[in-house]
Amino acid sequence: MKMTFRWYGDDDPVQLWQIRQIPGVTGIVSAIYDVPVGEAWPLDKILELKAKIESAGLELSVIESVPVHEHIKLGLPDRDRLIANYRQTLRNLGKAGIRTVCYNFMPVFDWTRSQLDYVLEDGSNALIYDEEVVQRMNPLTGELQLPGWDSSYRKEDLKLLFDQYALVDEEKLWDNLAYFVKAIMPVAEEAGVLMSIHPDDPPWPIFGLPRIITGGDALERFIRLYDGSVNGLCLCSGSLGANPDNDIPALIRRFGEEGRIHFVHARNIKFTGERSFQESAHLSSAGSLDMAEIVRALRDIGYEGPTRPDHGRMIWGETGRPGYGLYDRALGAVYLNGMWEAIGKERAATKG
């Protein structure tokens, strides 16, 4: 397992030199943030980002993400032009030596929460999802202002998107995903880039929009869209784990044994009700997911790819991007690396 850390570029309050000092972290997960969605990423911008990260003694391990334009998800007539741009981005990433790309196919909204600064019992702040609160929200009124999705939409643009998605059910979204996957994977293979789809977060429909990458059967259907190991998964324990029916260690073994897990987001959540949860510290005892068993499953499949501690709490008075503070994610990285080392030494002693 290769421990990495998400970094949002020069505007990120967390600095590369701080990340460099976290024991066991060697890689950075980042992206190009100033190229409009749908346009090809220039090679020189990719190389500039890579050089900046390498100058700090780290490696650009994963691009998260290369966003998929909404017109591709909707299957609109200009999708072929947009897919051609996406293919060129993958070629440029391959030329720059980037080997893993994470992306998602969630309509309109990326990860969604009902509150960003919920105060936990220990006084720290965390992201939470309360289904009752979300059900009362209307994104078209402008009351939903959360990170994790494109807040640059004007109200009229968002209304148009919702009108367009009214014609797209789950099966149509699957058709559009299949079209996209079959178009990009041959180029990814040529470029030497592993593609990792991120599951929907949360893994159920929101605001009347379809969501399809939600659990084991959906992941199986996705994998079968393109018969090649380049077509893989970002196994996000927190996203999939929001549905108690998703057994994360079992999913890791199921898809890891055939080499389809290319990237791992490791985080814990605590169930607070049906389809409701709060994000917690990474420890197994802090949430509802058994992180030790999740790490053990990754050991079982011989996972050697990038892993990053996902959303963390805001602790010790830290402010900044909700869910992406330095301190709690750093603790998570050390915790995960510690379990990885302990399990490995335990098995080596048993064999000896």
Is 102 among the residues known to form the active site?
A: no
d(CA 336, CA 295): 7
Query: In this structure, what are the phi and psi dihedrals at residue 133, rounded to the nearest 5 degrees?
Result: -65, -45
Tokens of 235: 């196994």
Residue of 69, 71, 282, 311 marked active site: 311
Alpha-carbon distances of 264 from 181, 197, 267, 273, 327, rounded to whole Å: 20, 11, 10, 26, 20
DSSP tag of 294: H
Which entry of 200, 201, 310, 328 is annotated as an active-site residue?
Answer: 310
Q: Which of 86, 118, 324, 335 is catalytic?
A: 324
Task: Write down the catalytic residue from 236, 282, 303, 328.
Answer: 236
The dihedral over CA atoms of 64, 69, 238, 159, expressed in degrees to the nearest 10, equals 140
> Active site includes 265?
yes
Torsion of the alpha carbons at 107, 108, 112 and 117, rounded to the nearest 10: 170
Which run of H or E residues covers position 181?
helix 170-191
- Of 69, 198, 262, 282, the active-site residue reads 198
How far is Cα 17 from Cα 12, in angstroms, rounded to an integer? Answer: 12
User: From the centroid of its chain, how far is CA 45?
Assistant: 22
Active site residue 262: no
Q: Which residue of the set 69, 262, 265, 282 is catalytic?
A: 265
Which residues are the active-site residues? 198, 236, 265, 310-311, 324
